[in-house]
Amino acid sequence: MSFGNKTDPDCLLDEIREELRETQLLTGRPVLEQRVMEALRQTPRDEFVPHELRHVAYANRPLPIGHGQTISQPYIVALMTDLIHPRPGDVVLEIGTGSGYQAAILSQLVKRVYSMEIIEELAADAGARLRRLGYDNIEVRAGNGRLGWPEHAPYDAIIVTAATSRIPHALIGQLKPGGTLVIPIGSQHAAQELLVVNKRGDGSTEEKHVLPVVFVPLTGTGED
């Protein structure tokens, strides 16, 4: 697949639609909700990548943002967003702020976004960037995402943007009954799978494997 025009958000959306068609047998999603696609179109990805990479900001691929971290591939961002079925009244927790791109997209679809980043410099930069761009319903905090953010729980949905070998118990505990957790499961040097976890009314969970992925590892300590 070619990356098309790397400076045009509309060409990026075409790339995402093409990849959705190619992966629909795995994901069950030949298309995504229009609200999600519009949020991607409205989000200036060039503001969330290093200045020297702005010429490829709208390529459908991950890009380095420093500190050994990446901004995720837009197709994956769109898919993970769609998998939580975002609603205007939702409160969402994101683990792994990175540059703030995923949080910016979520903020256009839900009531409130709480985002945690373990690397303090990235958290500070992302918070300042999101404020400068006018995303005023996002709160960014530096901290250990494995422990979640209990002060604002329970959450309608939780998105984790780094891979871990097991689902952290704290995140399941902070998810509302009926809520959805989307998380990559696996290690840095082995196969990873995107997992959707739905929490039932009785507190039990149901898991669905979506497709193979590659993410940086979720760091921090805590009982999984």
d(CA 101, CA 107): 10
Q: Which DSSP letter does residue 108 get?
A: T
d(CA 58, CA 49): 10
Predicted confidence at residue 200, as pLDDT, reads 94
Chain center to CA of 215: 11
What region, left, alpha or beta, does residue 179 occupy, with left being phi > 0 and alpha being psi -120 to 50 degrees? beta
Predicted confidence at residue 36, as pLDDT, reads 97
Q: Which of 48, 43, 33, 128 is nearest to 81 (CA)?
A: 33
Q: Which of 72, 99, 107, 115 is catalytic?
A: 72
Q: Which DSSP letter does residue 224 get?
A: -
Predicted confidence at residue 191, as pLDDT, reads 86
d(CA 151, CA 170): 12
Predicted confidence at residue 189, as pLDDT, reads 72
Please confirm, yes or no, whether 72 is among the known catalytic residues.
yes
- For the CA atoms of 28, 34, 38, 39, the dihedral, rounded to the nearest 10 degrees, stands at -60
Predicted confidence at residue 1, as pLDDT, reads 34
Phi and psi torsions of 188, nearest 5° = -65, -30
The H or E element that residue 97 is part of is none
What are 92's strand-pairing partners? 113, 157
69-120 pLDDT, tens per residue?
A: 999 999 999 999 999 999 999 999 999 999 999 999 999 999 999 999 999 9
Max CA distance (Å), the chain: 50
Predicted confidence at residue 6, as pLDDT, reads 59
Predicted confidence at residue 207, as pLDDT, reads 95
Give the three-class secondary structure for 59.
coil
Chain center to CA of 152: 19
Superfamily of domain 9-213: Vaccinia Virus protein VP39 (3.40.50.150)
The H or E element that residue 61 is part of is none
19: number of Cβ within 10 Å? 19
Stretches in the chain below the pLDDT threshold 50 = 1-5
Predicted confidence at residue 209, as pLDDT, reads 94
Instruction: Spell out where the chain has E strands.
Output: 63-66, 69-71, 91-95, 112-117, 138-142, 155-160, 175-186, 192-199, 205-213
